[in-house]
Amino acid sequence: MEYKEKIKGRVWVITDPDGKLFPNIDTDMIFHNSYLAITDINEMGQYIFDNLEGWEDFAKKAQPGDIVVAGSNFGCGSSRQQAVDGFVSLGIQALITESFGAIYFRNAVNMGFPLVRCDNLDTDKIQHMSEIEIDINSGEIKNVETGEIVAEAVPLSNVQKDILKSGSLFKYGKSALG
Amino acid sequence: MGKTILEKIFAKHSKDEVKPGNIIWLELDIRSARDFGGANVVKNFQREYPGEKVADPDKTFFTFDCVAPAVTIPYANNQQICRDWAVEQNVTVFDVDSGIGTHVLIDNGLSAPGTTVVGTDSHMNILGAVCAFGQGMGDQDIAFAFKTGKTWFEVPPTMKIEITGKYEYPTTAKDVTLAVIKKMGASGCLGKAVEYVGETVEKMSLNERITLCSMATEMGAIITLVTPNEDVDNYFREKGITYDIADLTPDADAEYIETVKVDVDGLEPQAAAPYAPDNVKSIKELEGTEINSVFLGSCTNGRYEDFATAAKIAEGNRVKPGVMFRANPSTRGEYGRLIKDGIFDTLFNAGVIMSHASCGGCASGQLGMTGAGEVQLSTSNRNFKGKQGDGQTYLVSPAVAMASAIEGKITLPK
């Protein structure tokens, strides 16, 4: 993906049936195993979240440029690259959560897809369908309309930044390993 | 400063400084892809490295275990993409007859203690049972590993989980595993390496260690490692593989970020109720719940000993009519032993659908999904909503699975 230092977009705040940030969203809820034969990234987006209670129509309503906020341990479960690729295919610009499953995190980093970690996400501050801007360098996430800082991101690791800037693991590997 | 087990394994496979938080380039002894993900690995490789060869064909493998053999044309196409490319690259394919990739790698002596292994299976970290570093990765990571023999990795901090106490049959290693998950929760080990220690773990056989280490991912752990004991040493010695135990034992002054104690003294059989592996309850709380189907197998409980436990209970009994019982051994080797020793016959005669070695009901699409309203007992490691169909899945031990199948309801084995 193309590297951007500031990412601005409309935000989807993914909550569970109790209205809290949806925790432990696993790869089967993101991209169900019945679609695993798909290898064309352009076909993956339509199935994102269709097994996630309350968000089955996400893929139909999401627009390119949107940002997704969800609960902790996002992307736990399988090593499924499609669960990252599907968001890229929909044109989602970034994912913000308190933590990610380890494999999911790598998969996103490797394709240059920005995952943003915040220690404390407050859904009173980040409101569903509001417009926010993420500053990758400072970690500040603000509400575009009010200018209020709504969350602070944990700084990206060096490798995450390097891969983001080079665009993919493959490009990064060519320069890092020669 | 001393090193933990993982730090020792990494130090032998990297030129970079190994300490928690550092990102290192790690040399990989084995890089593999299963049929889920395999075709995407090939496509990534062909796009990024057109006309090029893998770094080392002898260290590169395909293991077909998810949809084995393929039941749909798209799956068949994907497998054939891998086979054709493997011929071109002179890479070995453990094809659809072989069984679960991680177990095939262990049984073939490829993922021996102290080795580093990656693959597209998120339970690759089960290899911690033999004190190897195994890691599940996505298609791009694996394509990169095929080409370079390396991967970048952030050295995780290590925590200890100390398991103490004695338990008796019908409590088994699976119940201990579920008790640990209950204590840690789905993200209790997120981003950490774990060393299992304590008298209970030290005594566990290779088979029991495999069960224990098969659910690392369900606690968010990068890997759970156990220093080999005599049973593990003997298993590998028979394959002509030896190693220096000092390389697989943490230093006395190694640093741990946390130690958690789990006492399993007198533990009773457990189950993970729908829809989360950490939603663990005692079988006594669930006794009497009517069931429709049972799955015995998976990387967690698909080995010879697991089937032998079930067969002992099945002897002279029959699965209750109306209950569908499916079973898949972990590997072709284990399958052969089950046939030779009469265990296949016992289970067959009890009404079990005895299928070939593979991931079976754990991976979708191959062998039996659950329908809405169906209650399934499974010896596998995941019961997420929708993973194995529209029904509800309880994760249990082979003993509970068989005892319950005979009664048609969740039952404590005698």
Spatial separation of the C-alpha atoms in residues B347 and B402, rounded to whole Å: 10
Least Cα separation, residue A102 to chain B (angstroms): 6
**Alpha helical stretches, state H, A21-152:** 27-30, 58-61, 82-90, 102-110
Q: Tell me, what's the pLDDT at B1?
A: 85
A63 touches chain B (CB under 8 A): no
A173 touches chain B (CB under 8 A): yes
Least Cα separation, residue B316 to chain A (angstroms): 38
Res. A34 pLDDT band, cuts 50 70 90 = confident
Q: Using a CB cutoff of 8 Å and minimum separation of 24, what contacts does A52-60 make?
A: A52/A14, A52/A22, A52/A25, A53/A16, A53/A17, A53/B385, A54/A15, A54/A16, A54/A17, A55/A14, A58/A12, A59/A86, A59/A90
Token pair, residue B379, equals: 């010896």
B52 touches chain A (CB under 8 A): no
Are B140 and A111 in contact (CB < 8 Å)?
A: yes
Q: Tell me, what's the pLDDT at B290?
A: 98
Residues in CB range of B336: below 8 A, 6 or more apart = none
B382 touches chain A (CB under 8 A): yes
> Letter for the amino acid at B111?
S
B136 touches chain A (CB under 8 A): yes
Nearest CA in chain A to B221: A102
* Cα distances (Å, whole numbers) of residue B61 to B92, B137, B310: 5, 14, 32
Are B385 and A38 in contact (CB < 8 Å)?
A: no
Least Cα separation, residue B67 to chain A (angstroms): 10
**How many A-B residue pairs are in contact by the CB < 8 A criterion?**
120
**Sign of the C-alpha dihedral, residues B8, B13, B19, B21?**
negative
Nearest CA in chain B to A26: B384
Chain segment A81-95, per-residue pLDDT in tens? 999 999 999 999 999
Spatial separation of the C-alpha atoms in residues B79 and B70, rounded to whole Å: 8
Domain spanning A6-177, CATH architecture: Alpha-Beta Barrel (3.20)
The complex scores an ipTM of 0.90
Q: Which of A80, A81, A170 sits opposite B48 (nearest CB)?
A: A170
B186 touches chain A (CB under 8 A): yes
Is-contact A30 A147, C-beta < 8 A? Answer: no
Asked if the peptide bond before residue B170 counts as cis, ω within 30 degrees of 0, the response is yes
Asked if the peptide bond before residue B275 counts as cis, ω within 30 degrees of 0, the response is yes
B174 touches chain A (CB under 8 A): no
Closest CA to B270 of B285, B290, B249, B258: B285
From the first residue on, what is the mean pLDDT of each consecutive set of 10 residues in chain B (414 residues)?
96 97 96 95 97 98 95 94 98 98 98 98 97 96 97 97 98 98 96 97 98 96 98 98 98 98 98 97 98 97 98 98 97 98 98 95 76 96 88 97 98 96
Domains, chain B, ordered by start = 5-154 (3.30.499.10), 158-262 (3.40.1060.10), 270-407 (3.30.499.10)
Q: Tell me, what's the pLDDT at B365?
A: 57
Q: Which of B39, B144, B186 sits opposite A170 (nearest CB)?
A: B144
Q: Which of A102, A170, A177 sits opposite B191 (nearest CB)?
A: A102
The dihedral over CA atoms of B212, B120, A159, A177, expressed in degrees to the nearest 10, equals 120
> Letter for the amino acid at A136?
I
Least Cα separation, residue A91 to chain B (angstroms): 19
A26 touches chain B (CB under 8 A): yes
Least Cα separation, residue B388 to chain A (angstroms): 9
Helix/strand/coil (H, E, C) string of chain B?
Answer: CECCHHHHHHHCCCCCCCCCCCEEEEECCEEEEEHHHHHHHHHHHHHHCCCCCCCCHHHEEEECCCCCCCCCHHHHHHHHHHHHHHHHHCCEEECCCCECHHHHHHHCCCCCCCCEEEECCCCHHHHHHHCCEEEECCHHHHHHHHHHCEEEEECCCEEEEEEECCCCCCCCHHHHHHHHHHHHCCCCCCCCEEEEECHHHHCCCHHHHHHHHCCCHHHCCCEEECCCCHHHHHHHHCCCCCCCHHHHCCCCCECCCEEEEEECCCCCCEEECCECCCCEEEHHHHCCCECCEEEECHHHHCCHHHHHHHHHHHCCCCCCCCCEEEECCCEHHHHHHHHHCCHHHHHHHCCCEECCCCCHHHCCCCCCCECCCCEEEECCCCCECCCCECCEEEECCHHHHHHHHHHCECCCCC
The domains of chain A are located at 6-177
Cα R_g (chain B), whole angstroms: 21
Least Cα separation, residue A145 to chain B (angstroms): 35
B140 touches chain A (CB under 8 A): yes
Spatial separation of the C-alpha atoms in residues B275 and A29, rounded to whole Å: 12
Are B122 and A77 in contact (CB < 8 Å)?
A: yes
B25 touches chain A (CB under 8 A): yes
A159 touches chain B (CB under 8 A): yes
Are B141 and A158 in contact (CB < 8 Å)?
A: no
Spatial separation of the C-alpha atoms in residues A13 and A95, rounded to whole Å: 10
Is-contact B95 B38, C-beta < 8 A? Answer: no
A166 touches chain B (CB under 8 A): no
pLDDT averaged over every residue in chain A: 94
Q: Tell me, what's the pLDDT at A157?
A: 83
Is-contact B272 B394, C-beta < 8 A? Answer: yes
Least Cα separation, residue A147 to chain B (angstroms): 33
Spatial separation of the C-alpha atoms in residues B208 and B308, rounded to whole Å: 13
Nearest CA in chain A to B73: A37
Res. A160 pLDDT band, cuts 50 70 90 = confident
Are B190 and A99 in contact (CB < 8 Å)?
A: yes
Least Cα separation, residue A174 to chain B (angstroms): 10
Q: Which of B138, B220, B222 sits opposite A81 (nearest CB)?
A: B138
* Cα distances (Å, whole numbers) of residue B118 to A28, B140, B145: 21, 12, 8
- Per the model's pLDDT, the better-predicted residue between B404 and A1 turns out to be B404
